Amino acid sequence: MKRLALIALLALAGSVQAKDWTVDPSSTLGFSGSYQGEKFSGKFPRFSAKVALDMADLASAKLEVEIDVTSVTTGNADYDGELKGSAFFDYAKFPKARFVSTTVKESAGALVADGTLTIRDKSKPVQITLGFKPAGATATLDVQATLKRLDFDVGTGDWADTSLIGGDIAVTAHLALK
């Protein structure tokens, strides 16, 4: 009888999973960089995310984000026009970007997600920093990462000059979860 109870407890412990969260449409995904020494920023209004996260079970945590790059906007018509072209996102061939986590762990007091980012069919490992704040039935998840745009062929040809457009692009997101 004790053995049966122990097996049942082990089975329950093994079935614990990270909580699946729904991402509220008010959530944001943005980026910033520099052009000719001046800062610019933009956003992707259309993206979807699947978040499974529980601080008590980081081993089961999973983040998946799909970004509709055709929705990119900087508020500058010239920049937005260039971003559509073959030197940048090349909407016609590559309308989506995607991030999938492989691990989520605590590191130096912060949460860090390692995963694979795919842009323009170029897949590279990236690490993102997470700020997770659960509050009962809701939570927020703030995301920060710095990407090397040329790793993904974003800004090729004349635009590959990092003295013109900086090579580092800061990506931030604020996800409202329920």
Q: Is the pTM of this model over 0.85?
A: yes
pLDDT per position as a tens digit, 100-153: 999 999 999 899 999 999 999 999 999 999 999 999 999 999 999 999 999 999
> Is residue 11 predicted with pLDDT exceeding 80?
no
Is a pLDDT exceeding 70 seen at residue 12?
no
Tokens 């407890």 sit on residue: 9
What are the backbone angles phi and psi of residue 16, rounded to the nearest 5°? Answer: -65, 135
pLDDT of residue 17: 60
pLDDT of 3 over the 90 cut: no
pLDDT digits (tens, 9 = 90+) for 35-74: 999 999 999 999 999 999 999 999 999 999 999 999 999 9
Instruction: Give the whole-angstrom CA distance, residue 155 versus residue 164.
Output: 10
Q: Where are the beta strands (DSSP E) in 44-167?
A: 47-52, 62-68, 96-107, 110-119, 122-135, 138-148
Going from the N-terminus, what domains does the chain have, and what CATH number goes with each?
17-177 (2.40.128.110)
